[in-house]
Chain A
């Protein structure tokens, strides 16, 4: 009998829960300063663009670390690396809550980005290696839905706690929750059965990166991710501008409600994952990009509804 994780088994439920909560904690930690950027600007007497570097440093650290991970992925123990990344990034978030120097916060965010890069990259590798091939798409979909829940829940909890107490108390509280998830993840996620960290067979750091960058299929996937997530972010960043201007004149609250559309992603990621198991990744990806394309064109219509 195959020792891959099969659907509807106790191990499946336990591993899915670990991965889901792991993605909630990692995305929660990633976006933990986004709602408090205006408060950072006020507390440290910064301009909004300088205060927003607290997000940019984390993203930059993540992008840099992704390149390193591509070169050493085969040497990394999946579970150990992800567990350390989750717990350590939560501790760094607690340090940010206690920090009285903005430049120290930027440094901590950079390191946090370095650590958190390990989670999405190794989770996908772990799922591919440990789960039965016919449910890989579904499991990746569930993981992605956890990222949307983590992003939304983290921001909502932090915003609420900040309103009641202060941004420092709010950030410390959500970070402690992420730390507890990190510890729980360490003990609940099963060790890799199909991947052994290998130094002997390693093809070397720079060669690993080179081979990754020379793989045409991987480059295509990178380009699709770069273009589609960039377009998605650009759309959400700027759609508020035409909506609050004439002829629509929507209020900030009405425009804010638009972001609940994010929740569609929580369900659609699992649905699309299941569809990709059935019909193939490329077909489902093409369909999703086609829907995005039509959606972008629809925004050109003058009518709001």
Chain B
């Protein structure tokens, strides 16, 4: 599906159009994977205000 949209972008616009789509999608994937990092590494300690 992404390949088909990419083909349309390339034929109607140019390589910049295709790369804009790819970088946007990879940016979304990057944000999603970053949220998985938070999920798999929950903070072990909570800030309590204690100085120690």
User: Is A293 close to B, CB under 8 A?
Assistant: yes
Task: Across the interface, name the chain B residue whose C-beta is closest to A299.
Answer: B19
* Residue A283 lies at the interface, judged by CB distance under 8 Å to chain B: yes
A137 CB to nearest B CB, Å: 12
> Bound complex: CA of A227 vs CA of B23, how far in Å?
10
Nearest opposing residue in chain B for A233, CB measure: B3
Contact A217 B39 (CB under 8 A): yes
**Stretch from A67-75, A195-203, A237-245 forming part of the interface with B:** A237-245
Q: Which residues of B contact A289 (CB under 8 A)?
A: 26, 29-30, 33
Task: Tally chain B residues at the interface, Cβ within 8 Å.
Answer: 30
B10-31 residues with Cβ-Cβ distance < 8 A to A are 10, 15-16, 18-19, 21-23, 25-30
A293 touching B19 in the complex, CB below 8 Å, given contacts A224-B32, A282-B40, A286-B33? no
A289 to B26, CA, bound (A): 7
Most chain-A Cβ atoms within 10 A of its Cβ — which of B10, B22, B38, B40? B22
Residues of chain A with a CB closer than 8 A to B3's CB = 230, 233-234, 237
Q: Given A221-B36, A233-B3, A285-B33, verify A293-B15 contact (CB < 8 Å).
A: no
Residue of A nearest to B11 (CB): A241
Interface residues of A in 274-291 (CB under 8 A from B): 280-283, 285-286, 289-290
- A220 touches B (CB below 8 Å): yes
Closest to B5 in A: A234
Cβ distance A197 to chain B, nearest Cβ, rounded Å: 29
Within 8 A of B (CB), among A188-240: 217, 220-221, 223-224, 226-228, 230-231, 233-235, 237-238
In Å, the complex CA distance between A231 and B33 comes to 16
In contact, B40 and A223 (Cβ under 8 angstroms)? no
What residue in chain A is nearest B28 (Cβ atoms)? A227
| A224 to B26 Cα, complex, angstroms | 8
Q: Is the CB of B15 within 8 A of A242?
A: yes
Interface residues in A242-289 (C-beta closer than 8 Å to B): 242, 280-283, 285-286, 289
Partner of A296, one of B22, B34, B40: B22
Q: Give the distance to chain B from A254, nearest Cβ to Cβ, in Å.
A: 18
Residues of chain A having any CB pair with chain B under 8 Å: 217, 220-221, 223-224, 226-228, 230-231, 233-235, 237-238, 241-242, 280-283, 285-286, 289-290, 292-293, 296-297, 299-300
The 4 A-B residue pairs with the shortest CB-CB distance, nearest first, are: A230-B2, A282-B37, A234-B6, A282-B36
Known contacts A234-B18, A280-B37; 7 further A-B pairs (Cβ under 8 A): A227-B25, A237-B7, A282-B34, A282-B36, A289-B33, A293-B26, A296-B22
